[in-house]
Amino acid sequence: MPWHYTTPLDLIDHWQTLIAGLVALAAAIITVSVTLTVEQRKVDRELDALRKSLAIEVRQLIPRALAAHTSLKTLGAKTDGPITARMVESLSGLRAPIVYNANAFQIGLLEADAMDVVIVYGLLETARESVRLMGTSRTPDDINPAIVLQAAGIFLEACKYARTVLPKMRTGVASHDDRDADLIQAISAATVPISAV
């Protein structure tokens, strides 16, 4: 004999398992949705923090790299006496990156910008290493000017790549980001050959 309900309570009693299952399913969907939203916000915040941290570090390293380029270019052109490794080191004092090294495993999160960031930091490291190697050369008190000029060129290459990175990596502080145009202009001026000036 088919079942007939007589009251709404009787209907709920008969279908309580199905109703409980649907309520549990809805609760699970809501929980998963909220969890995914919270996790995505966390990832977005971490990516934003990574971008801003790298942006700050790049804005500290690139002006120093540009100054090292200028100083080493002048040193490599000198004709009055030998060039020592100590002279090169003192003019190129670029510190090792901290933010980049600590977050290298996350650079891929920058997606399209990752390659440019890696190139800038790679060139900076190559420049730092070339200066370090001058100190271990056979003649650290008589460095060939061509080698000094080559190191200056590597510093400049890092700066040139940074021109595309700077506009993409914002610090979030207008007073820092607003100086980018002047820095980019200084880098562009340094790339112009002396004969073209």
How much of the chain, in percent, has pLDDT values that exceed 90?
A: 43
Residue 40 — pLDDT band, cuts 50, 70, 90? confident
Report the alpha-carbon distance of residue 189 to residue 197 in Å, rounded.
9
> What confidence category does residue 5 fall into, taking pLDDT thresholds of 50, 70 and 90?
low
Q: Count of CB atoms within 10 A of residue 29's CB?
A: 10
Q: Which residue has the higher pLDDT, 128 or 19?
A: 128
| First and final C-alpha spacing in the chain | 102
Q: How far is CA 148 from CA 124, 130, 137, 155, 185, in A?
A: 15, 9, 13, 11, 24
Give the span between the Cα atoms of 94 and 74, in whole angstroms.
17
> Which three-class secondary structure state does DSSP give residue 88?
helix
Q: How far apart are CA 39 and CA 15, in angstroms?
A: 36
pLDDT at 11 over 70: no
Overall average pLDDT of the 121-133 stretch: 94
Name the amino acid, one letter, at 162: A
Range of weakest confidence among 57-66, 87-96, 188-197 = 188-197
Mean pLDDT of 3-8: 66
| Upper half-sphere CA count for residue 6 (Cβ side, 13 Å) | 0
* Domain extent listing, the chain: 52-191
| Encoded tokens for 69 | 């380029």
Reported as a single tens digit per residue, the pLDDT across 161-184 is: 999 999 888 888 888 778 888 999
Query: Highest-confidence range of 106-115, 120-129, 138-147, by mean pLDDT?
Result: 120-129
